[in-house]
Amino acid sequence: MNADFKTIGLVGKYNSAGIVGPLRRLAVWLKERGHAVLATLETVEACDLCDVPAMALPEMGRQADLAIVMGGDGTMLNVARTLVEHRVPMIGVNQGRLGFLADVSLDTMFSTLDEMLSGDYIAEERILLDCRMERGDELILHTYAFNDVVVSKSTTGRLIEFEVYIDNHFVYSQRADGLVVASPTGSTAYALSAGGPILHPTLEAFVLTPICPHTLSARPIAVNSRSEIEINLIHADDVRVHFDGQRHQDMRVGDRVIIWRAPNTIRLLHPVGHNYYDTLREKLHWGEKL
């Protein structure tokens, strides 16, 4: 047993029947290896882990040396936003196809985890976005985003108008369907679909990608991750700001979204032999004949 991982927290994808059996077996296997095992309240309830201490995710973050997350990339995003404050490393076990974040296969879970928990792994630090939405002098919302922050039109379908400042310098005003501010991790998500570049996950940068801008001259911009990005809403009928596509907040004209780098990073652990470019090639079907 790796001395660094004495206590391991388990998190399963919510409302997913497919994880019940594997998570139960994983909990037993970890105990047999000598690890103390914790789990979130929802995981214990869904999987009937009656002999595993149950707690809220923040409390698990305070106690665990490692989190094993079973589900997929969406589950990893959700967990990472809480665990980033506790600097708990994460391993992702994917139920289905290879994920960008959850890259341990369910089929080889025990053999792969045996190697990783014995110290054979690749560690990677990922930056997150620290986000505030302000209305005048009032703080409306403060949260983190692992993938991206998206300011976009909601139900009316009309273009919105916003201004962008970087480090208090005016960059542009834009009429568009919205704007994606993505971390390197999120550069392969919505930002990529909107025409943004792929950033290597260890790059110290953020990318700003307009969504269907009402001009031919708008292009994505990559900026230093130490920059402060401010989005001011100038005109709109119905707008929301989304965080990783999992949390959102309605916006009004005059509201500001302020984004900078989170003070802590998330540490992802990958199996030995992990190669980001292999993942890109598989997920994006590079080189396949049409």
* Residue 61 CB neighbours (<10 A): 19
**Domain for residue 290, yes or no?**
no
**Domain for residue 190, yes or no?**
yes
Residues 204 and 237 in one domain: yes
Residues 139 and 118 in one domain: no
Residues 169 and 226 in one domain: yes
Q: State the catalytic residue, choosing from 4, 51, 73, 255.
A: 73
Task: Give the domain extent around 202.
Answer: 129-261
CATH number at residue 28: 3.40.50.10330
Residues 113 and 7 in one domain: yes
73 catalytic per annotation:
yes
**Domain for residue 288, yes or no?**
no
Rg (CA), the chain: 20
The rounded distance, in Å, linking the Cα atoms of 154 and 160 is: 10
Residues 104 and 139 in one domain: no
Q: Are 67 and 8 in contact (CB under 8 A)?
A: yes
- Phi and psi at 247, nearest 5°, equal -140, 145
Q: Which two tokens stand for residue 53?
A: 């201490």
Helix (H) or strand (E) holding 62: helix 57-63
Beta-ladder partners of 61: none
Q: What is the dihedral of CA 246, 249, 254, 257, to 10 degrees?
A: -40
Note the pTM of the prediction, 2 decimals. Answer: 0.94
pLDDT of the chain, 290 residues: tens digit per residue: 566 899 999 999 887 888 899 999 999 999 999 999 999 999 999 999 989 999 999 999 999 999 999 998 999 999 999 999 999 999 999 987 667 899 999 999 999 999 999 999 999 999 999 999 999 999 999 999 999 999 999 877 789 999 999 999 999 999 999 999 999 999 999 999 999 999 999 999 999 999 999 998 999 999 999 999 999 999 998 999 999 999 999 999 999 999 999 999 999 999 999 999 999 998 888 987 76
Q: Which amino acid is at 14?
A: Y
The rounded distance, in Å, linking the Cα atoms of 220 and 233 is: 19
Residues 144 and 253 in one domain: yes
